[in-house]
């Protein structure tokens, strides 16, 4: 024990590491929760900027009730905020093929109604899809200033 206390460099490293670990744990619990609508808008803007265009097809149009507004605690950033509005969510399901692989996905177009003529959309309707060339499963059919739904 006397040898351990005599080595001040080792004690300094142990103390510094402990402080760093406590700071990381405090940050994980104290950081603000992510706003899902802001994250989705950022994703749409990124895909609109870098995305390549492919031809796709509308598979389904659906209206879903708003998710319940509840806050849950989380661990290491898994906490999420409820959506800002409680209106029903409009979803467009679509499919597209890239390099022989067919992708089926959906996009929530709530709030983007000015870009879409919902009354003209039907199942089987052709659409343009913007996708991330590095991750073709990440795609959109409507952005804030672009619409692939004709």
In CATH, the number for domain 36-140 is 2.40.50
Q: Which pLDDT score, from 0 to 100, does residue 4 have?
A: 58
What does the chain come to in residues? 150
Q: Which pLDDT score, from 0 to 100, does residue 37 have?
A: 86
Of 52, 53, 57, nearest to 134 by C-alpha is 52
Q: Which pLDDT score, from 0 to 100, does residue 78 have?
A: 53
Q: Which pLDDT score, from 0 to 100, does residue 7 have?
A: 79
Q: Which pLDDT score, from 0 to 100, does residue 48 have?
A: 94
Q: Which pLDDT score, from 0 to 100, does residue 81 have?
A: 52
Q: Where are the domains of the chain?
A: 1-31, 36-140
Q: In whole angstroms, what is the distance from residue 111 CA to residue 85 CA?
A: 10
Each of the 150 residues of the chain gets a pLDDT tens digit; together they read 666 566 778 888 899 999 999 999 988 888 877 788 889 999 999 999 999 999 999 999 888 787 665 555 555 555 555 555 677 888 999 999 999 999 999 999 988 878 887 777 788 889 999 999 999 999 999 999 999 987
Of 56, 51, 57, 55, nearest to 135 by C-alpha is 51
Of 141, 126, 47, 38, nearest to 92 by C-alpha is 141
Q: Which pLDDT score, from 0 to 100, does residue 74 have?
A: 55
Q: Which pLDDT score, from 0 to 100, does residue 75 have?
A: 55
Q: In whole angstroms, what is the distance from residue 112 CA to residue 131 CA?
A: 18
pTM over 0.75? The answer is no
């Amino acid at each position: 024990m006397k040898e351990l206390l005599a080595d001040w460099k080792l004690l300094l490293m142990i103390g510094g590491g402990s402080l760093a670990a406590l700071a990381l744990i405090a940050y994980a619990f104290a950081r603000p929760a992510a706003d899902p609508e802001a994250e989705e808008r950022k994703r749409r803007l990124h895909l609109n900027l870098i995305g390549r265009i492919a031809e796709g097809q509308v598979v389904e149009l659906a209206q879903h009730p708003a998710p319940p507004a509840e806050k849950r605690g989380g661990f290491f950033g898994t906490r999420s905020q409820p959506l800002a509005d409680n209106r029903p969510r409009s979803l467009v399901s679509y499919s597209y093929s890239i390099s022989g692989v067919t992708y089926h996905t959906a996009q929530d177009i709530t709030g983007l109604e000015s870009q879409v003529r919902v009354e003209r959309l039907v199942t089987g309707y052709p659409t343009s899809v913007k996708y991330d060339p590095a991750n073709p499963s990440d795609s959109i059919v409507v952005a804030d200033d672009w619409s692939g739904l004709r």
